[in-house]
């Protein structure tokens, strides 16, 4: 009897990947806070998780990915499948432009980074508890 990671960990394994990617995006915003013309971006977590679920469902049904059948079609194979680049959105600033075209608001980015970090660690704690429970069940089976 085989058990898949989806059965054991559910959505949490995918949540960690999305939260990690969002941390990278927010860190990039913070790193470019003084770059003239830089536009702050963010990953839409809910939309990304919906897209993850849609992709998993299509894989579970055995659907094949789109194929390029005409030379004028976009080459979807060149798009990274595990990177939700298409779900990155430009952030609208709360305050007026500073004059250099940069839309990064450092306090807002720090708050988002910390919130994402807390949620990431909550997911890790859940996964650790799940793994501990599985290990305990395996030890019980050995006795």
The pLDDT tens digits for 32-66 are: 999 999 999 998 888 888 887 777 777 666 655 66
Task: Supply the range of the domain harboring residue 25.
Answer: 5-67+82-142
Mean residue pLDDT across the chain: 81
**Is 116 within the bounds of a domain?**
yes
Cβ of 93: how many Cβ atoms within 10 Å?
15
**Is 46 within the bounds of a domain?**
yes
**Is 34 within the bounds of a domain?**
yes
**Is 74 within the bounds of a domain?**
no
**Is 73 within the bounds of a domain?**
no
CA 106 to CA 114: how far, in whole Å? Answer: 12
| For residue 86, pLDDT beyond 60 | no
**Is 31 within the bounds of a domain?**
yes
> Residue 62 has what pLDDT?
63
pLDDT tens per residue, range 124-143? 999 999 889 888 888 887 76
**Is 25 within the bounds of a domain?**
yes
Number of independent structural domains in the chain: 1
**What is the percent of the chain with per-residue pLDDT over 70, rounded to a whole number?**
76
**Is 122 within the bounds of a domain?**
yes
């Amino acid at each position: 009897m085989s058990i898949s990671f989806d059965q054991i960990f559910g959505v949490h394994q995918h949540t960690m990947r999305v939260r990690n990617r969002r941390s990278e995006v927010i860190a990039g915003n913070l790193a470019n806070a003084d770059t003239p013309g830089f536009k702050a971006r963010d990953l839409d977590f809910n939309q990304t998780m919906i897209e993850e679920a849609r992709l998993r469902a299509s894989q579970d049904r055995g659907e094949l990915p789109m194929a390029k059948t005409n030379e004028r079609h976009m080459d979807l194979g060149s798009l990274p499948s595990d990177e939700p680049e298409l779900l990155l959105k430009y952030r609208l600033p709360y305050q007026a432009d500073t004059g250099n075209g940069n839309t990064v608001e450092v306090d807002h980015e720090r708050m988002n980074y910390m919130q994402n970090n807390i949620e990431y660690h909550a997911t890790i704690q859940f996964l650790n508890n799940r793994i501990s429970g599985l290990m305990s069940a395996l030890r019980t089976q050995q006795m």
